[in-house]
A and B are shown apart, each in its own frame.
Chain A
Amino acid sequence: KQEVTQIPAALSVPEGENLVLNCSFTDSAIYNLQWFRQDPGKGLTSLLLIQSSQREQTSGRLNASLDKSSGRSTLYIAASQPGDSATYLCATRGHSGGSNYKLTFGKGTLLTVNP
């Protein structure tokens, strides 16, 4: 059974700082890994999706890396802004189709960027 762990559980940084969020997973046989953002009381916004064959994906100030063999992914946020404050969730999708379309989520990292 896949288990996804995110460290740290919470992070508070001053505006402008670069930061890294970590995600680890126990079963390396994943189809892809996805990073989401969740604002308080809201749904999920997809940030980046990395296929199992890829090493990283970039979107603006965000860069996500994937090391499938070691079961790790990182989300790098450059020049953080107060608007980046949210909970960041990591999720893996199992390999192949059928029921393995389901996502397994970590508990998230609560990020606070202070002005």
Chain B
Amino acid sequence: GAVVSQHPSRVICKSGTSVKIECRSLDFQATTMFWYRQFPKQSLMLMATSNEGSKATYEQGVEKDKFLINHASLTLSTLTVTSAHPEDSSFYICSARVAGVSEQYFGPGTRLTVT
């Protein structure tokens, strides 16, 4: 149980375009989902926290107008990188938790390359 999927696993896009990444909880309802970014040889950095049906809370330094997060249902959150630039190339990982449970369950990640 507690499986989280991400789609796509890899995506290449051109500079200036937008790309959407999906995060799904497959066998549980996720009241909260988290989006992390990981640059090579760096730790995972939390970008934003989203609760179903409400606006996401962004970490300091993360542009909310550039990284659009939608958590429209208890099993799906999406991250849209708008007007992507090469410096946005990174590994994006989502996680999900159930209300009342401390543990977060992580997705397999999405490798974004902006050319």
Contacts and interface: CB of A to CB of B under 8 A. Distances in A.
A44 B43 contact: no
Contacts of A31: 102
Contact of A105 (B41, B43, B105, B111): B43
A4 interface: yes
A106 to B, nearest CB: 6
B108 A42 contact: yes
Contacts of A34: 103
Grouping DSSP codes into helix (H, G, I), strand (E, B) and loop, the A interface class, with mixed when no group exceeds half, is strand
Interface in B67-115: 91, 93, 95, 97, 102-109, 111
A59 interface: no
B106 A44 contact: yes
Contacts of A45: 106
B79 to A, nearest CB: 15
Interface string B45-60: 1100100000001000
A43 B34 contact: no
Contacts of A108: 43
Nearest 8 A/B pairs, CB to CB: A43-B108, A44-B106, A105-B43, A105-B44, A107-B43, A43-B109, A43-B106, A102-B46
Interface of B: 6, 32, 34, 41-46, 49, 57, 91, 93, 95, 97, 102-109, 111
Interface of A: 4, 31-32, 34, 36, 41-46, 49, 89, 91, 93, 99, 101-108
